[in-house]
Amino acid sequence: MKDPTFWFIARASGLTAYALLTTSVLAGLVVKSRPTRRLKQAATTDVHRFLAVLALGMVALHGVALVLDSTVHIPVLGLVVPGLVGYRPVATAVGVVAAELMLLVYVSFALRKRIGVKNWRRLHWVTYVVFAGATIHGLTSGTDAAQPWAVGLYGGVLGLVATATAWRALTPRPVPVPARGGSR
C-alpha cells in the first residue's frame, strides 16, 4: 500500500491556496471600493498582498507535494511547463498557467513604480484570469471536485467574487476629502 501523505498534503494545500487566492481577490476588490471609511487603504492593501503571498506559498507546497506523491507521476518540469503532466493534461496545464500568472501579478507589486501605476492596474485585471484558471483547475483536476462540499465551495466562492465584482463596479468611488488649509 502506498503512503497517502503527499496526496493528502497536495489536496489540502491546493484547496488552501484556492481559499487564500479567493480572499486575496476579495481584499483587492475592497481596496478601491472601501465599504466604510474605517477601512484604511494601506492596511487593506497589506492584507491583500499578504494573502497573495500566502496563496503562492500554498501553490508551491501543492506542486512539491504532487511531485513527491507516488499516486500520480508529475515531473518537476511539469510544475512550470504547461502540458508536461500526463494526468488530466489540460486541467493541469490551466493550473500551471494560473500559478505563473499569479506570480507575475504578485511580482508586479514590486515593479509598480517602474512599470507605472496605469500599466500595473491593467496587469491586475489578469487576476480574474488567475481566479478563473484556478477554479477550472480545481473543478477539472481535483479528485474531490464532484463531492457535494466541493461543489458548494466552488459555487459559493464564484458567487462571492461575482457579487463583490458587481458591487465594486456599481458603487461610486469614494470622493477624496480635500486637505484643510488648501486654496479656495
**Cα separation of 106 and 52, whole Å?**
7
Per-residue pLDDT tens over the stretch 129-180: 999 999 999 999 988 889 999 999 999 999 999 999 998 888 776 666 666 6
Evaluate if pTM is beyond 0.85: yes
Q: Which three cell numbers stand for residue 75?
A: 515531473
Domain ranges of the chain: 5-170
